[in-house]
A = this chain, B = another copy of it.
Amino acid sequence: MLYLIGLGLSDETDITVKGLETVKKCSRVYLEAYTSILLVDTPVLESYYGREVIIADREMVESASDEILRDAQNVDVAFLVVGDPFGATTHTDLVLRARELSIPIQSIPNASIMSAIGATGLQLYNFGQTVSMVFFTDNWKPASFYDRIRENRSIGLHTLVLLDIKVKEQSLENMARGRKVYEPPRYMTVAQCTAQMLEIEEEKRSAGEGGVYDEESLAVGAARVGGKSEKFVSGTLKQLCESDEVLGAPLHSMVLLGRRTHELESDYVREFAVDKEIWDRIWKRDYEGKQ
């Protein structure tokens, strides 16, 4: 059997009881470690499970999935995923491959950032499609997120923005020379994300295609959602460009509010405002009572 097991969002105790019992009986245990991370290190998981944990990087999952699935017709294999097992596309590939090999599959769900973001007080019913933000480079500033936010905002909905993480990345030089030397991991912060959003808005405006949001659009930054040190900050996009100190360590994510925001949502989120007066002024002007 192939077990896809969600680990939740924070530490080793966020696994479900069912998940933990299952991991403990598996012959091999893989941890998918490139679409998200827990706030604890692998040795902590190994001692908690009483099992060796094999790190499955992108290369292994995408190119060597048959190794992960080896003999899973006969033995139990666990594939651990931070959050929920079906949060990322990659894992449906693994399941399709397992199906081809007639390997039975069971998934054990857990909290995903896509639902846990409800802890901001914003209603999950009012979210449109989720977008991802990647680290811009000098030459590469992918802006497909912008049109998706435009769609969400055109119908008044919130947008959850998931922020890039870079683990086990090689520098161009090391890649060119075939040296398996990896850069330190990087986790995008809310400030980096909002700055990139405003940069793209600026570009789009110059091209006459802008106006999806602006410096005064309201948003909520979130850090370590579901963990004990969970932290939220709300304010304008401009204000969130300075939010890193308050939010602290990774992982971060953020929500851009839709105009259909309910008063109860605003009441809840206002509590986290950088400046409640500014929040109230913009709320009344741009959101309150809008449909």
Contacts and interface: CB of A to CB of B under 8 A. Distances in A.
Interface stretch (A26-34, A104-112, A197-205, A214-222): A104-112
A46 interface: no
B16 A109 contact: no
B114 A111 contact: no
Given A99-B271, A125-B132, A129-B155, 12 more contacts: A8-B109, A12-B17, A14-B17, A14-B18, A16-B16, A84-B115, A92-B268, A109-B119, A112-B115, A128-B128, A128-B129, A129-B157
A107 B119 contact: yes
A86 B118 contact: yes
Interface of A: 6, 8-9, 11-18, 20-21, 83-87, 89, 92-93, 95-96, 99, 106-112, 114-116, 118-119, 121, 123-132, 151, 154-155, 157, 225-226, 228, 264-265, 267-268, 271
A151 B151 CA distance: 9
A232 to B, nearest CB: 12
Contacts of A151: 155
Nearest to A110: B111
B6 A17 contact: no
A119 B86 contact: yes
B268 A87 contact: no
A268 B89 CA distance: 11
B9 A109 contact: yes
The 6 closest A-B pairs by CB, nearest first: A86-B118, A109-B111, A112-B115, A13-B18, A109-B116, A115-B115
A159 to B, nearest CB: 11
A129 B262 CA distance: 15
A152 to B, nearest CB: 8
Count chain B CB atoms within 10 A of each CB in A114, A115, A267 and give the residue with the most: A115
B92 A121 contact: yes
A116 B154 CA distance: 27
Contact of A87 (B12, B18, B99, B115): B115
A87 B18 CA distance: 22
